[in-house]
Amino acid sequence: MNKPLRRVAIFCGVLIMALLVRVNWVQFVQADEIKNHDKNRRVAIDRYSHPRGNIIVEGKPITGSTETTGSDFKYKRTYKNGKMWAPVTGRASQAFGGTQLEEIHDSILTGNDDRLFFNRTIDMLTGKPKEGGNVVTTLNARAQEAAFKGLGTKKGAVAAIDPQTGAILALASTPSYDPSLIAGNSKDDEKNWVALGKEKNADEPMLNRALRQTYAPGSTFKVVTAAAGLESGRYDIDKSTGIASPFQLPQSTHELGNEGNDARCDKATLRVAMQWSCNATFAAISNDLGNEEMIKQAEKFGFNKEVFTPTRAVASIYPEDNAPQNAQAGIGQASNRATPLQMAMVTAAVANDGKLMKPYMVDSLEGPRSVVEQTEPEEMGQAVSAPNAKKLQDMMETVVNEGTGSNAQLPGVTVGGKTGTAQRGEENKDNPYAWFISYAKTESGSPVAVAVVVEDSNAKRNEISGGGLAAPIAVDVMKAVLDSKR
């Protein structure tokens, strides 16, 4: 072979080697990345080439699929009462992707999950079309409806939990949106998407306030401060705390008291302080215990870390802070922030004799012919000792029977609760948040713990209170759960 031909042959050999290396790199290293890439349209076309499996509540689907025309996506998602269930389902949109259960369990719903391999094989051999699996939730339809209707046109959220298992029973957020409006990829879907976005809609209907929004928890946090006080051994429910009202904040000339209740709150017992929501008592306890002890107690209830239900809930924060700020954080103000789910967890732990269960909203994942995954209740820890949890229950039941939470009374049912009116804005100029946390108790323990926050309403400022706005919603949710168990 002459020299020029030899060079051409070597060059061609190098090209062939480079091609072989590239082919193998793509096939064995990049295959999964390319297959699952968001912009791989073949994946999206396959995802919507057959009906998705469904999200199930109490044996009934709250989702569906409908055939479409004029697109290479054969089916699109539909939702039943989409606004009410959106904080649970999230969305599955041909144009805008998925969120929450639709996204987290997309592989089950599309039928592509590896655990459905045998189902797919049988379908292929028998000539049946591909089927998606189902996501079976823990939600209680009546409780969800009560929460959603109770919030109505008000901006806010509700979270309800079974304290004994951690199963989420209701998860409502308002204003909400219908995911069906953005499930396709038409011009109308695009127009609806823009209208729902934060830039065009200040109410943020796509924000899941129950899991993703933190608020100052206000006086509902006094349950946590009381737990810290009891666990320290320095306080008991029917002994005078010796704390004067008003209380002068440390390193400050500012005095913290309660409008009209200072006489009742002066040197009050823990029970009386909880009954009338005495700011001075709980701010002084938080100051007495110190920032480190308060953080430790808050974290036992789940603060300062994200919670996965499996949908992610942002971390509620009990902050590292100086003495005056820590005193105010002890009454749920300053930099203290909590999600409605977090305050439902606090209530659930108290109602469950101190044991905190991990909240979850998926009971099982089902293939077309079998259950592929079953969720088992999981203990997160002992937030407070059982004897002290009983004392907290005693105090919260006094709040409902004889205190600020009387609007939560249910005939023939033991109810414990705590009101909260969280101040907002510089010099408290904005309308406050109205909170209420509560549980109902039967002979077999508590089947439901609820947290309600009303962020905004048409009520006048002096009419906004946890007992007035939020407690009636909590009552309807508790009643719905109790009725469904009869």
Predicted confidence pLDDT, tens digits, the chain (486 residues): 677 788 888 888 899 999 988 888 888 777 777 776 767 778 788 888 889 999 999 999 999 999 988 788 899 999 999 999 999 999 999 999 999 999 999 999 999 898 888 877 877 788 777 888 999 999 999 999 999 999 999 999 999 999 999 999 999 999 999 999 999 999 999 999 999 998 889 999 999 999 999 999 999 999 999 999 999 999 999 999 999 999 999 988 888 888 766 789 999 999 999 999 999 999 999 999 999 999 999 999 999 999 999 999 999 999 999 999 999 999 999 999 999 999 999 999 999 999 999 999 999 999 988 899 999 999 999 999 999 999 999 999 999 999 999 999 999 999 999 999 887 766 666 778 999 999 999 988 999 999 999 987 566 666 677 888 999 999 999 999 999 987
C-alpha distances (whole Å) from 37 to each of 32, 40, 94 are 8, 5, 15
Tokens of 229: 């006080």
Burial of 62 (0-12, 13-18, 19+ CB in 10 A): buried
Q: Catalytic site residues?
A: 219
Query: Given this model, what pLDDT does residue 461 score?
Result: 65
- Tell me whether strands 55-57 and 134-137 are parallel, antiparallel or unpaired: parallel
Query: Given this model, what pLDDT does residue 390 score?
Result: 97
Provide Rg for the chain, Cα atoms: 27
Considering the entire predicted model, what is its pTM?
0.91
Read off the amino acid at residue 136. V
CA distance 424 to 191: 34
CB atoms closer than 10 angstroms to residue 155: 19
Task: For residue 107, give the 3-state DSSP assignment.
Answer: helix
Q: Specify the DSSP element, H or E, that contains 451.
A: strand 445-456
CB 272 within 8 A of CB 264: yes
Q: Distance from CA of residue 424 to its chain's centroid?
A: 22
Please, where are the H alpha helices in 321-449? Answer: 323-329, 340-351, 386-402
**Residue showing tokens 């012919």:** 369
CB 101 within 8 A of CB 87: no
Query: Given this model, what pLDDT does residue 309 score?
Result: 97
CA distance 325 to 296: 16
Query: Given this model, what pLDDT does residue 41 score?
Result: 79
Q: Strand (E) positions, 132-275?
A: 134-137, 155-161, 168-174, 247-248, 255-256
Query: Given this model, what pLDDT does residue 391 score?
Result: 98
Task: For residue 75, give the 3-state DSSP assignment.
Answer: strand
Query: Given this model, what pLDDT does residue 462 score?
Result: 66
Tokens of 36: 């699952």
If we measure between CA atoms, which residue out of 211, 229, 210 comes closest to residue 221? 229
